[in-house]
Amino acid sequence: MDVPVWQRVYEEINDPNFVLICAAEDVGGEAVAGPIFDAANPTYIQVVDENHLISSAFNFVNVPSAAWIDEQGNIVRIDEGTYSRVHEFGDGENTITFGNDVYTPALLDWIEKGADSRHVKSADEVAKAIRSHSTDQLRADAAFRMGNLFRAHGRAELAERYWGMARELNPDSVNFIRQNLTLSEEGSAGETFLKLREDYIREGKDYYRPLDIEH
């Protein structure tokens, strides 16, 4: 999530009835996520989700993703790549472009018009968009949390064993893969990440759900 840009969007909205919650999913906890939040000085709610509980509950395959929840507690959009702008990194032929510039205007439209926004989904549409959890996915989530527990107690070998189990049980989880990469020397935006992204796109797998918002 682009914290500085979303802070500007939040300030632009300036509506006390709108609540923006940003969850940083990182096993590094406050030590890793805190400086990113602090640098942006956000005034909306920030939480650190070390065990990826939120992506597990909503069955997000990748981050940043989001759900829109209305005043009655109903989900009216769910499971989409949530970008505040188009991003680019790299130089020349190695430049990678990702993200979109349509999500923020759609969000602003919903905040202004509420249930009358053309971007609001019906209950049936939302239900169809929610990914059901397979038994292996549930086991993977449990294994991932066990790995985090062992890592927190200095049991690196057991942590890796359970993390490996999580990846085997749910190999399509980009969340798990990218989390592992953050602990590597190349980080989460290196060659492994770029190859992963290319493979998902080539194979037609959901790196993100297609965003059905008109450009």
pLDDT digits (tens, 9 = 90+) for 157-195: 999 999 999 999 998 888 888 888 887 887 777 788 778
Over the chain, what is the mean pLDDT? Answer: 85
Per-residue pLDDT at 86: 59
Location of each CATH 3.40.30 domain in the chain: 3-129
Q: Is the pLDDT of residue 108 over 70?
A: yes
- Burial (Cβ within 10 Å: 0-12, 13-18, ≥19) of residue 166: buried
What pTM does this model have? 0.81
Q: Is the pLDDT of residue 44 over 60?
A: yes
Q: Is the pLDDT of residue 145 over 80?
A: yes
Q: Which CATH number applies to 3-129: 3.40.50, 3.40.30, 3.30.565, 1.10.1070?
A: 3.40.30
Per-residue pLDDT at 88: 62
